[in-house]
Amino acid sequence: MIKGNLKLLRVSFEIILFAFIIFSFFRFLPEKLKAITLKTQIIPLLISFLAEGFFLSLLLFVLFMLLTIIFGRIYCSFFCPLGGFQDILIRIKRKTKKITKFSYHKPLTLLKLTILIFAIISIISGSLYLIGYLDPYSFFGRIVNYLLKPAIVIINNSGELILRKANIYALHIMTLPTFNPLALTPFILILGTIIYFSLKRGRLYCNSICPLGTILGIFSIRSFYRIEIDKSSCTSCGICESVCKAECINSIDKTVDNSSCIRCFNCLNVCTFSAIKYKRPIKKKKTDNKKTQNLSRRNFLYSFFGILGFSGINLLLRNKKSPIKPYLPPPTPPGSINLEEYISKCTACYLCVNNCPTNVLQPSLFQYGLKGVFIPHMDFYSGYCSYDCIKCLEVCPTDAILPYTKEEKKKIQIGTVKFIKDFCVVYRNNTNCGACAEICPTAAVTMKPYKGLLLIPTTTPSFCIGCGACQNVCPAKPEKAIVVKTNIVHKEAKKPKRKRATQQKEIKEDFPF
C-alpha cells in the first residue's frame, strides 16, 4: 500500500468509528450498529469472556491480538475512542498555537509495568475498580457522561424552548445527569493528566499509564510489519521524530521503538528521502542476544496468558453468594443477575447511563461498597425503570447486564415493593392520592377502602418487579411512603391474575338484548 494512503486510511477509520462510538452512548443509533462498535473494544471483550465464557468475545479478543502481532498497535490509532480524543486535542493545539515538535523519550517501562501488574491483580481479586478508570473505552464513557452529555442536553433544551414558542414540538426536554463531587475527583485528575500529556507530550498517556497500551506494546515488539528506518538513506534530519506523537523515533540512532509506536503513520509522509517505511523487516541472522530477547518475550506472553487464565477461572468459580449485610444497597439493573456478578463485570463505561430514557441509572459512590464505586445504580429519586424498556440490556459491552428479551425482562424481579403507612399522605393528611397504584405496571400496588371515600395503597410483593415507578412518583416528603426493597439475587415475579369473567357478566346484564 502507498505510504500516503496508510495515514488517510487511519484517519478516515478513526473518525468514522469515533463518531459511531459517541452516537452509541446516546439513542442515535440502531441497536445492530451499536453492537458492532461494542465489539471493537478489547477490554470489554476480555471481561465478557472471563466473566461469562462467551466464545465470540474470546474469538474477537484473539483476533485483535493477532492483528497486533501482524501489524502492531493499530488498535491505539484505529479503534480506541480515548486515543481519538487525544488526537483531537493534539490537532486543536496545532491549529491554535505554534506547531508542536515532539522528540524521542525513553519509555517509562517500570511505571507502565507496575500499573499493568496492579490492573491484573485487581482483575484476579474480582474488582474492576482500577480497570474501570484505566480502560480507555470505559474512561471515554465517563468523558461522554460528564462533559458531552450536559452540553447536548443544554443545546437540546434550548432548541426545544425556541421551537415550542413557534408551536413546533419536534424535540423533548432532556434531563441533566447528576454529579457527585467525590465521584468527579478521580475523573478530573485522570482527565487533567490526559489533557496535559496530550498537549505537551502527545500520546504519552497511552505509553506510560494505559495498561492496554502496555499489553499491546509487548505484542507488537516483533510484529510482522513495523516502522523501520533505512540507515543508509537517513540523514538524521529529525523531521520524522518531530511529528511522532508516540515519541518513539530516535533520529540520532536511527531506530524506532515499535513497542511504543501506535501506527499513526505520520512519519511516513514527511521523510523527503523515503528512509522511513512500514514494511516487513528483512530477516537477519539470529544472535544470542536476540534469542534471549525472544525467550524473554515468549516467557512474558506465557505468563500473561497464564494470569488471564487464572483470572478467568477465579471469576468463573468464585463464590458469588453475597454475604448478609446489615443494610440493603440499591437494586442492580434487570439482567445483572445478582450484586456480586454485576460488580465483577461492570467497568462503569456509562453506556447504559447515557442510553437510559428515564435517567434511573446513575453513577454510584459507595452505594455498592468500595468494590462497586462509581458503577451505575438504580436511583428511584431520579427516575424509574420503564416496563417496556430494554436499552441497558442491549448496549452493555461486558455482559454485566445480560441481553434478555423484552418479555424476559418483564419477569425479572430486582426488588419488591414495601408500603410504609405512617408516611403516606392518605394516612397523614386524610387526602386522596393513589399515584403509586396508577403508575404500577404489574398490579403490585392497588387501592383498597380506608375511611369513607378515601382509598389507601395495598401491595402484593410477589407481583412486583422492582421498577421503582411507585417510589419515584410518591409525593410523601421527606420520606417516601412506598419504596423498593432490593433483591441481592434477582428472582422471577409472579403474573397477576386478572378477573375478566366478572366484567363480561356485568356487560351482559347491562345489555340483555
> Which is nearest to 372 in space by CA: 385, 360, 363?
363
Q: Find, among 465, 360, 461, the residue nearest to 412 by Cα.
A: 465
Q: Is the pLDDT of residue 304 over 90?
A: no
pLDDT of residue 499: 45
pLDDT tens profile 36-61: 777 888 888 888 777 666 678 888 88
Please give the single-letter amino acid code of residue 202: G
Smallest Cα–Cα separation from 143: which of 372, 343, 391, 349?
349
Segment 114-132 mean pLDDT: 80
Task: Quickly state the pLDDT bin for 293 (edges 50, 70, 90).
Answer: very low
Exposed, middle or buried, 395 (CB in 10 Å: 0-12/13-18/19+)? buried
Residue 442's nearest CA partner among 473, 421, 416 is 416
The answer to whether the pTM exceeds 0.75 is: no
Q: Is residue 270 part of a domain?
A: no
372 domain-assigned: no
Confidence class for position 5, pLDDT limits 50, 70, 90: confident
What confidence tens digit (pLDDT) does each residue in 388-408 have? 999 898 888 888 899 899 999
Angle, vertex CA 125, rays to CA 123 and CA 128, nearest 5: 45
Mean pLDDT of 289-301: 48
Cα gap 364→322, rounded to integer Å? 19
* 464: CATH: 3.30.70.20
At 507 the pLDDT is: 39
Percent of the chain with pLDDT over 70: 83
The DSSP line for 38-97 is HTT-HHHHHHHHHHH--HHHHHHHHHHHHHHHHH-SHIIIII-HHHHHHHHHHHHHHHHS
Q: Is residue 266 part of a domain?
A: no
- Would you state the pLDDT for residue 394? 86
Residue 502 lies in a domain: yes
Q: Which of 111-120, 182-191, 274-283 has the highest mean pLDDT?
A: 111-120
| Per-residue confidence band for 246, with pLDDT thresholds at 50, 70 and 90 | very high
Cell 529529525 -> residue: 238
Domain contains 123: no
Range from 80-94, 294-308, 359-373 that averages highest in pLDDT: 80-94
Question: How confident is the model over 420-454, as pLDDT tens digits?
Answer: 999 999 998 889 999 999 999 999 999 999 888 88
Parent domain of 481: 418-513
In this structure, is residue 473 part of a structural domain?
yes
Determine, yes or no, domain membership for 455. Answer: yes
State mean pLDDT over 342-350: 85
Q: Can you tell me the mean pLDDT for 294-309?
A: 52
Q: Which of 81-85, 180-184, 346-350 has the lowest mean pLDDT?
A: 180-184
pLDDT at 500: 39
| pLDDT beyond 50 at 92 | yes
pLDDT of 333 above 70: yes
487 backbone dihedrals φ, ψ, rounded to 5°: -95, 110
Q: Quick one: cell of 274?
A: 523515503
Asked whether residue 295 carries a pLDDT value surpassing 50, the answer given is no
What gap in Å lies between CA 212 and CA 116, rounded to an integer?
Answer: 8
Pick the range with the lowest mean pLDDT from 133-137, 145-149, 203-207, 307-311: 307-311
pLDDT at residue 328 is higher than 90: no
Which of the four pLDDT bands, split at 50, 70 and 90, describes residue 279? confident
Q: State the sign of the Cα–Cα–Cα–Cα dihedral 176, 182, 185, 190.
A: negative
Residue 141 binned pLDDT confidence (cut-offs 50, 70, 90): confident
HSE of 133 in the Cβ direction (CA atoms, 13 Å)?
24
Q: Give the mean pLDDT of 335-339.
A: 90
Confidence band, pLDDT 50/70/90 cuts, at residue 292: very low
**Average pLDDT over all residues of the chain:** 82
- For the chain, the domain total comes to 1
479: in domain: yes
Rounded to 5, what percent of the chain is helix, strand, coil? 50, 10, 40
